[in-house]
Structure 1
Amino acid sequence: QGCLQFVILKPILVVITFILYAKGKYEDGNFSVNQSYLYITIIYTISYSMALYALALFYAACRDLLRPYNPVPKFIIIKSVVFLTYWQGVLVFLAAKSRFIKNAEKAADLQNYVLCVEMLIAAIGHLFAFPYKEYAGANARPSGGFRESLLHALKFNDFYHDTVHQVCSYLQRICAVQPQ
């Protein structure tokens, strides 16, 4: 549920950000209380932190079961792309606000450049964290081609079923009648 809240909240915040940007109420790196960047950043930070905490709890509870899959490098490489790049962006814009960087535009340029370099490093890291040999073998099935793979990737069945399952189990727990 800690990770699922992030999966649900992220697209909602993206839509809200687009709307606020169109209305002139959102400006990257503007921490003014009159702009929504500050509030969106606070919400994202809380959501990211909750998701990471939930993943850490999951790993702690399932460490022995997960050991054969070597999850630590996988976790580090994926989460560094998602979470650390976000926090890095916030720090870069804070540096601009503090005048360590000339302005928000220069901060955005620096952030984009650093992300390009980091994504090259992350791509190389993926080769080690996700070796192809783990996925090739008796359970490997032939690809149906690009179109079929794309359609499969765009399916939201897992997301939908996980969300419904989590919401229903949560509602069952909070609505359960306690014996007196």
Structure 2
Amino acid sequence: MSWRAFIKPIFVVCYSLLICITLPFLILKLYEKSAPAIVSAWFVAGLFVLGAIPISLWTIIEHMINYTNPLLQRHIIRILWMVPIYAADAWLALIFPSFAIYFDTLRECYEAYVIYNFLAFLLNYLRSEFPDLRCVIEQKPQMKHLPPFCFLNSWKMGRVFIDHCRHGALQYTVIRPLTTAIALICEMVGVYGEGDFNFRHAFLYLTIINNVSQIWALYCLVMFYRCTRLELSPMKPVAKFLCVKFVVFMSFWQSILIAVLAATGVIRKVEAWKLYDVQSIGIALQVNTKFSYFDNNFCYIVYATC
């Protein structure tokens, strides 16, 4: 009997034990006398997280059981791990706020890894269907840049175009971990200033760098899709592209929005809550509903063995 036959029963038992341990802990904390508001946030966020993680892990397990196309499925599995990592990061950051920046550091590095794997997934699919992809793209009409990058010279169709799109997307996988590491160091020496747009703090400068890097990576992915949308159409690339865009870039823009609202006084300080707490709650509340759509678009069924 294959080892894959034992994956599902082991997962069900382990996750049931996790729920049996975690849920009573949350309920006890919730009903303690004078429990602070943050404990209620633990409980609500914990329920959403406990609901989101099994959906994603079950899809990962199904891909492992029906591992019929390693060239594509290894990237899908790596992309799907983003959901439990997001969920665990959000909840642990609420419970251990002093370690939130370390949890977020790991999550942000994995975000960059997801971009790499998504691009590799698209390229591997195209190369499996069109072995001479360079020649296919060379036969296409010259593509012009979209606003606000109309001033750039057009990329020559063929290998040059592929390289520009690949390098443009992959620069984010280098810059994001680098800026995350710098943010971690700045936080340790007290000059980061999370949510503070003061020129004396590193938060403003790192936010600008991340913003530019993300916009360019997203733009290069859009250009790549515009060029290859007909070739990619059998694997429904729009839904997958929107999923990755939502997951990877959502947390960054959410953190910026929260910081702006806090700086303008729209969000006021409540007890000992910090911006990390608000950000973590926002992520935790979204993973159960929107990330299930993420899993559905990387479904295992098309790879299932008969």
Which one-letter code corresponds to 2:303 in the other structure? Y
Q: Select which of 57, 63, 80 maps to 2:246.
A: 80
State the match for 2:304 in structure 1.
Answer: 136
For the residue of structure 1 that corresponds to 2:200, the secondary structure is: coil
Distance in 2 between residues matched to 1:137 and 1:65, nearest whole Å: 25
> Mind listing any 5+ residue stretches in structure 2 that lack a counterpart?
1-166
Stretch of structure 1 that moved more, 34-43 or 111-120: 111-120
Please list the CA deviations of residues 136-171 of structure 1 after superposition, one character each: whole Å capped at 9, or x if unmatched. 248xxxxxxxxxxxxxxxxxxxxxxxxxxxxxxxxx
Please list the CA deviations of residues 65-110 of structure 1 after superposition, one character each: whole Å capped at 9, or x if unmatched. 1000111111111210111221111011110000001149444322
Q: Is the 8 A contact 1:93 1:108 kept in 2?
A: no
Q: Does 1:54 align with 2:220?
A: yes
State the match for 2:181 in structure 1.
Answer: 15
TM-score for the superposition, normalised by structure 2: 0.43
Q: Following superposition of structure 1 onto structure 2, how do residues 1-180 of structure 1 map, counting pairs within 5 Å? A: 1-103=167-269, 105-137=273-305
Structure with larger RCO (C-alpha < 8 A, sep 6+): 2
> Mind listing any 5+ residue stretches in structure 1 that lack a counterpart?
139-180
| Aligned length in residues | 138
Distance in 2 between residues matched to 1:133 and 1:35, nearest whole Å: 49
Which one-letter code corresponds to 1:52 in the other structure? L
For the residue of structure 1 that corresponds to 2:213, the secondary structure is: helix
Distance in 2 between residues matched to 1:120 and 1:80, nearest whole Å: 14
Q: Is the 8 A contact 1:3 1:50 kept in 2?
A: yes
Distance in 2 between residues matched to 1:96 and 1:125, nearest whole Å: 30
TM-score for the superposition, normalised by structure 1: 0.71
The percent identity for this pair of structures is 33
Q: Is the 8 A contact 1:97 1:103 kept in 2?
A: no
Larger Rg: 2
Distance in 1 between residues matched to 2:305 and 2:239, nearest whole Å: 21
Q: Is the 8 A contact 1:26 1:35 kept in 2?
A: yes
Distance in 2 between residues matched to 1:10 and 1:127, nearest whole Å: 24
